[in-house]
Amino acid sequence: MQSKVTEIAPDTYRISTFHPDYGIQFNQFLINDDEPFLMHTGFKRMFQATLEGVRSIIDPAKLRWVGFSHFESDECGALNELLGVAPHAQAVCSVVGAMVMVNDFADRAPRSLADSEVLRTGRHRLQFLATPHVPHGWDAGMFFDEAERTLLCSDLFFQPGDPEPIIESDIVGRARDAIHGGLEGPLAKDMPYTPYTDSTLERLAALEPTTLAVMHGSSFRGDGRKAILDLAAVIKTILSKPEGGS
Ligand SMILES: [Fe+2]
Ligand SMILES: [Fe+2]
């Protein structure tokens, strides 16, 4: 496996590795700043591909922060491998994530962020938003880069295959097709529809992002507020029904 690197916003690099067994991309995002920040680590078994991608942008030893939305192997499975090559790096995640999992899992103590807390990396200010159960997981959260209005949105807008790095249209249509397609598969019910779902997505939309950095599939440049509200409507229509019927 080899990663492909694309700058999708100023200082913001998408490191994309297509995994043929899964048939999907696993995308990490590096914000190259005074204190370089990597969003997601990829699987432990993909570590070399991810590391080569990072190395094409910066010396991996300079990494300072490793962020992720929720505790799953694709989001943070290679965390300890990264901490091993980056002596000043630290995981950064939600309070729940740190207390319940990462304090124990990580070889070095993580930094936990409360809802709305800001992580300054230099020119960039990353606002952390606790988003329990969006896309999934009690510990879930998202980072919003206020400098470039980029929302690092984890599994939201999931698209299968090995598509282009960034698109400017139709991301909601692709995401809707993927949600429909997933209803029959072994990973159905990945995203619960809860009493928090609508308000969480409305809060993300209100950030008015201009880039959506998507973990699986193409990223999006354009009216992020509209895309998130449109996705929220799709999620409500499809996932609020017990059997996921439309
Ligand atoms: Fe996930
Ligand atoms: Fe994921």
What pLDDT band is residue 53 in, cutting at 50, 70 and 90? very high
Beta strand spans in the chain (E): 3-9, 12-19, 24-31, 37-39, 65-67, 90-94, 111-113, 118-120, 125-130, 141-145, 150-152, 166-167, 211-213, 219-221
- Residue 37 has φ and ψ, to the nearest 5°, of -120, 125
Residue 75 CA to ligand 2 center (angstroms) comes to 6
Per-state percent for the chain, helix, strand, coil, to nearest 5:
30, 25, 45
Region 33-40 average pLDDT: 98
- Residue 158 identity: F
Region 120-128 average pLDDT: 98
Q: Which residues sit with Cβ closer than 5 angstroms to ligand 2, an ion?
A: 74, 155, 215
User: Which ligand lies nearest the alpha carbon of 137?
Assistant: 1
User: Which ligand lies nearest the alpha carbon of 74?
Assistant: 2
Q: How far apart are the first and last CA of the chain?
A: 37
Region 23-52 average pLDDT: 98
The percent of residues above 90 in pLDDT, for the chain, comes to 95
pLDDT at 243: 66
Residue 215 CA to ligand 2 center (angstroms) comes to 6
CA torsion, ordered 47, 21, 72, 138, to nearest 10 deg: 150
pLDDT at 184: 87
Region 190-212 average pLDDT: 97
Residue 214 CA to ligand 1 center (angstroms) comes to 12
Residue 148 CA to ligand 2 center (angstroms) comes to 23
pLDDT at 220: 98
Residue 52 CA to ligand 1 center (angstroms) comes to 23
Nearest Cα to Cα of residue 52 among 88, 93, 85: 85
Residue 23 CA to ligand 2 center (angstroms) comes to 13
Residue 70 CA to ligand 1 center (angstroms) comes to 7
Residue 56 CA to ligand 2 center (angstroms) comes to 23
What is the tens place of the pLDDT at every residue in 80-109?
999 999 999 999 999 999 999 999 999 999
- Does residue 244 carry a pLDDT above 60? no
Residue 216 CA to ligand 2 center (angstroms) comes to 7
CB 19 within 8 A of CB 46: yes
User: Which ligand lies nearest the alpha carbon of 191?
Assistant: 1
User: Which ligand lies nearest the alpha carbon of 139?
Assistant: 1
